[in-house]
Amino acid sequence: MVTIDEYGTIIEGTLKDSDIGPACLDWLRENAPEAYQEVTSTFSDIYDLSLSEVDENFWDTDEGWFLYETVYPLMQEQAPDGYYFGAHPGDGCDIGFHLEAIEERAV
């Protein structure tokens, strides 16, 4: 189980898929190995490509977009109660697990 210490900013200062994707994959590998395994096996089954073969240019391809669209929801699923995964409301380039606003939690 992931503790609150592992939550917070995953990456900041960029909105490039080629930066966010690998940062999310690294976080999953370290903190949610089952989810990481799901991504790697699904990805290699579909594209016959290992994640170790992925480079910065890969994220601009259709396959890169598919991987990004697979990883992002998995990150959202890892958010603990009261948190969300995405951009910080005060800094759109701060991607990570952030505390939900009190108004959102009350709904």
Which pLDDT band holds residue 102 (cuts at 50, 70, 90)?
Answer: low
Model pTM score: 0.80
What pLDDT digit, counting tens, does each position of 15-73 carry? 888 888 889 988 998 999 999 988 888 777 666 666 666 777 888 888 888 888 889 89
For 78-88, write each residue's pLDDT tens digit: 999 999 999 99
- φ, ψ of residue 2 to 5 degrees: the values are -85, 135
CB neighbour burial string for 67-79, b if at least 16 within 10 angstroms, e if fewer: bbeebbebbeebb
